[in-house]
Chain A
């Protein structure tokens, strides 16, 4: 560690006990041993750090806001690279609706910056207050408006990645396979050029409650045919009851039109606040484990029915088939869920990533792709060992 300490300004590195404890886990609460934390401010800092890691055989773990739920940023006898000082926001290319930002820029900060220009970045995960652009790219974030705007890989024009050999890559949209969703195993994303879009002129919401799951799914299909649909969120009866709402299958549909019944900004904000507090409130109610399967439309009825019969609280982005069933730690039904999702052609990780938590469930195709990327970008295994698969 003394050699590493000598490579950086004292303000840019810490091996203090308090620092190492605070960085020993992310929002997954999966613990690991953090040896040190480095806050790079330049590409040269990154290259120096990577050179040290390659020479000494140490593992580097990139970290954004640490809001991941699968342990992707949990160190395992590793040095954590915190992107908190990579916060530069470039000027907006108004004609092209593009902007270049550093990886540590939090999403909400970016959108506050864009608001006076009537633009925004529309990929908005539930952790948008803190989530960084780099972390969102690393997990290929989807989120609350994915039914309209898709995943972040569709909004990254170019990303700058420094790989395990210390080589700088400017990967364009055509190279997406090497960037979005690889959870820091190929290197660290330090900068990205992002596409932006106009803030919608109109917005409205509708809340719908159903006793009958089949009837609700028919309404989902109907709502998805509306071209102005911008979010379609689901809350099952168990989740609704746990947070004090009517115990029904509930849909929150947002439109970029006046098709919804709730039009007042203050009322819509209150509804979104309630929806966005669900995750933490279910944790508080005793269901801390958040899963994120993506379920094909034809399997949604059987899966949601099974979850309701099991009494498992669920919410999620049903518009794109990603749901968040909540469990107690070690609940054996988590594995049963994985089997059901895999058997029905879905993905066990829709948007949280695989991290440490689900790595043993990675598909053969993912393992093959990850190995090929590792060989290309990080043959010495400098970055985020033991993650993803």
Chain B
């Protein structure tokens, strides 16, 4: 079943999403959990933490009320505030200069590193 993309903006902060989040599984810190990001977002904080969401929406699948983390919206707020990671900046500069996110590539060369936000 495809996930319904109508967004429920309310997070009740119950914390049941933590264990479903792949980022929390790695970081094991509350600010990187879906609830933690919702708390930061509701406090009006714009932080690079939002880039750590993979946008996978696993949290929404387990959320008892189907809260959507709206990771794209939180990231959009960062873009508006010109808050970027070094990887973001390099990617944008490479696209502008070379037409690809990897930087200068020789004919037929396959990029050795993939950079993402």
Contact = CB atoms under 8 A, between A and B. Distances in A.
A22 B65 contact: no
A309 interface: no
A21 B29 CA distance: 12
Name the prevailing secondary structure of the A interface residues: mixed
Contacts of B14: 27, 67, 127, 279-280, 283
Contact of B49 (A18, A67, A108, A283): A18
Interface in A68-89: 82, 84-85
A280 B12 contact: yes
A267 to B, nearest CB: 17
A67 to B, nearest CB: 5
**Which of B15, B30, B45, B62 is most buried by chain A, counting CB atoms within 10 A of its CB?**
B30
A281 B65 contact: yes
B36 interface: yes
B20 interface: yes
B31 A130 contact: no
B45 A65 contact: no
Taking residues whose C-beta sits less than 8 angstroms from the other chain, chain A's interface range is 35 or more
A284 interface: yes
Contacts of B13: 25, 27, 29
B28 A65 contact: no
Contacts of B28: 39, 82, 84-85
B45 A127 contact: no
B50 to A, nearest CB: 10
Contacts of B39: 21-22, 24-25
Interface in B19-74: 19-20, 28-31, 33, 35-36, 39-40, 43, 45, 47, 49, 62-65
Interface residues of B, number: 28
A18 B64 contact: no
Interface in A18-49: 18-19, 21-27, 29, 37, 39
B6 to A, nearest CB: 14
A17 interface: yes
A18 B40 contact: yes
A123 to B, nearest CB: 17
A22 B17 CA distance: 14
A39 B32 CA distance: 14
Contacts of B36: 22
A129 B62 contact: yes
A21 B16 CA distance: 19
A280 B65 contact: yes
A325 interface: no
A22 B16 contact: no
Contacts of A26: 15
Contact of A21 (B20, B45, B63): B45
Nearest to A67: B15
**Which of B10, B16, B17, B35 is most buried by chain A, counting CB atoms within 10 A of its CB?**
B16
Interface of B: 8, 10, 12-20, 28-31, 33, 35-36, 39-40, 43, 45, 47, 49, 62-65
20 contacts: A17-B45, A21-B39, A21-B40, A21-B45, A22-B30, A22-B36, A22-B40, A25-B39, A39-B28, A65-B18, A66-B15, A67-B16, A84-B28, A106-B19, A129-B18, A129-B62, A279-B14, A280-B12, A280-B65, A284-B65
Given A21-B45, A39-B28, 8 more contacts: A18-B49, A22-B40, A23-B30, A85-B28, A106-B19, A129-B62, A280-B14, A284-B12
